[in-house]
Chains A and B, each alone.
Chain A
Amino acid sequence: MNLDSLTQNSGEWLRAVGPEADIVISSRIRLARNLSSFPFTNRANTHQKAEIEQYLQGRLQKLDIDLQLDYFNLATITPLDRQLLVERQLVSRELANSEGPRGVAVGANEIVSVMINEEDHVRLQVIRSGFSMDEAWQEADRLDDKLEEKVPYAFSEELGYLTACPTNVGTGLRASVMLHLPALVLTKQIEKVFRALQKINLAVRGLYGEGSRASGDFYQISNQVTLGKSETTIINEIRDVIPQIIAYERQARQTLTRESRPLILDRVKRAFGVLKSAAMMTSEETMDLLSSVRLGVNLGLIDDINIVVVNQLFIHTQPAHLQKLLGRELDSEERNSERARFLRNRLSEMDSMN
């Protein structure tokens, strides 16, 4: 795998192949683990971090799995490439922006990534398209077992996997689901959903792009508690609540098409029109317009474009992707005009195919 080829396609999680993919973008499992014989990353010096990296990278190469892992040394690749990995959700923003020896091993299809020297020595992540929590967990659990055969983790019988921050101790598990909820936003019911989730100790966060707030109507729901519950319990608690949110969103979509069809149709067509013709486009506006188009495709209001292409445009118009696709660095004004040009080109390609 090379970083330049990543931009040619999108990771598995964006391919809209999983269950309920019209609403659930992706399901993600993240496990935090540490080596028992080193201080935590924030307390390790450069030499120790290099040792940790070398040790883990070596073990990862030798894992008894049918998955090829490609390693990226985050200390030596360009800031643009680091940003690219962040946009693809293979690396956390925190790891990309930190310092010293650190890296990420990425599996084919970008389903698996293992970050080294993040806040914890190991952050193992599995991300799947659609509502596929169980599959994601099984994969993460299996990989964790394989790695554990080769690596002594910091673990206590009483407190479980020991992590740099006590908010992750125990299972070290963060399970999250990314949802596209444009109809709940439009019908102003989204806060009601948030309140309900908060009551059962689940965290909700808006997804942000460059210069955007909760843009694109994407929301991530994840567990907060990691200690005192088994992995299965944690995952089930999230898994059980998602179908209700999906049902609310579908209901809101139905209400919209039943009661405000002309308004929604107008919104969708206008969004598509602007995307196809604007000369300057910020990342934020792109996300919002694409969100409307995405809703339109899912409601069958527009058939000029399919959902996979819409998903791809969300990621290809992100700053680092755009710059990689164009093959040069751009300042933010250049990005806005190149982003608009990119969208015009892509969408007129679609027209000529129809």
Chain B
Amino acid sequence: MKNRRPGGRQNKLLSLVSRLLSGVVLLLIAGALPWLSRTDPAAAVLRARYAELEPTPEALAAIREQLGLDGGPLASSLRWWSAVLRGDLGNSWVSGAEIGPGVWQAVSVSATLTAFAIIVALLVTSCLIAPAAVRALRGLEHRGSGPVGVALTALPEFLLASILLVIVSVQLRWLPPYGWTGLETAILPALALGIPAGGLLGRLLADAISGAGEEPWVNVWRLAGAGAPVILSGVLRRAAATTIDQLGLVFIGLLGGAVAVEQVFAIPGLGRYLLGSANAQDIPALQAGVLLMAGAAVLIGTLTALARRWLRGGPLPPGSLPPAPEARGDGRIARFTAIITCSALLAILAFGLPRDPYAIEHQRLAAPSLFLPFGADSSGRDLLARVAHGTLGTITPAVLIVLCAIIIGLLLAVLGDISRGPAEIANATPPILAGVIIAALMGPSVGGAALAVLWVTWPPLTAHAASLIDEARAMGHIRWLPLAGMSRFEIFTRHILPATLPALLRHGMLRLPGVALALAALGFLGLGAQPPMPEWGLLLAEGIGYVERAPWTTLTPAIALVLTSVCAVAVAGMRRAPQKPVRAMAKTAEPAPAGISGA
């Protein structure tokens, strides 16, 4: 029982050491990626470049030396970093060409796209926060951010991109469906990327503005005769200060979303570059792409930290993981929506599970009929069966991921501040980036995708577990249990765990739809489940090629995904008590809405 709560200084030191250590380890791992690859890098290069050569030991050794792979992972990592510091990003394993020019061109494309997306996001944000600002200025009661914001964040980027592509480019033929040739090719991608981000930003800010508007100082200013612009700027600054950490995460989430959007619209940006090199297992190219993307994330993180300093007048106290964005809304509507969407998914399961998802027994691309309610796909397989089995194929790993995250969370929460550094890095990693790296190392698989999603799921659960365990330990009857002769182990397993598990499980269940969407996003990009396995993201990717001739191939998996997305947002909004919203509680327990957790 003694030393239960280590004092401040030791705490600070521990989390500082943890952060530094995990930073250094991350850099070393980035440098040693070729060594972590499951395939022998030399053999991979040999196959790619000199298909006619036999993989004899001599040939392999020669290639290893040529690639600078001799000397083990640490040596090659250090060599890679010293080359990077000299501005040399190395040569591709596949083409043998220099990586630098290609990747920089991709970066410039992505930067342009992101700039457009940020413009869209800011437009959406200002539309969403305007009503809240007006209400705050007039001193009116607070209202939730409303259904518009929820609707805008309901769809993850890859889904919104596919839908825009189908409707605007294919059906209406207003804009070109893919490429990067002019302003007209940038509109749809910018919308697909900017709308969810703007919706999320707008919702966070609108709620924060309503909260700030209810604070007593606003009335004092008003009584003192301050004009509307003065009050408005005060309220905005206050709202930005309370949400700045979450805003930073939204912008970092843009980097991950960009990978999916670039893939859908065939834009030669950094995301597509990463996907391409992951598929080709071209590790040096992947390393360069990851380095630049991590650089962008660090840049955003630094800007966020600077903005926070300016807004709050001080650095972040050590060891405060930014809480995940949280949704608000009418509890009853949210519950109703969640129930409706869940029952629709259950209906698909009930009708589709008895059918065979693999049998090729229908006409190719057969239209929906009474006998074949969802139609057939391009190989003549029953789409209802495939979507239903895809539900299982997506939800089952999602449940496993959440359970693993809970177990990891409990273990790390017991260890305490040691996990601070990895948790911060993991919390800021877009799941798609983690998926790309894992797929490049191990080849694409359901397990790899699950690992990537797990990587971003454990930090919030760990933070929640830690606070729940602290709470339980402070409970009177648990503090006094040693008097009854109980060992610390027994107290933990029989009293602290039972007191924390229900809340943790509930939190995990709330995250389930978001986790499922993240998995589907990876499947859609080809980083997860492989054909012919039925999986939502994969089904959508397979269908999108036939969208003109047979729209149902795209629509049916999209419906399942939309149902899940809506369910995710509704479930996230359900946590609010319907009567009186509690404000400004630094909760790490809220699940992230689909918008940023999905892609």
The yes or no verdict on A and B being binding partners is no
Instruction: Give chain A's interface residues, CB within 8 Å of chain B.
Output: none
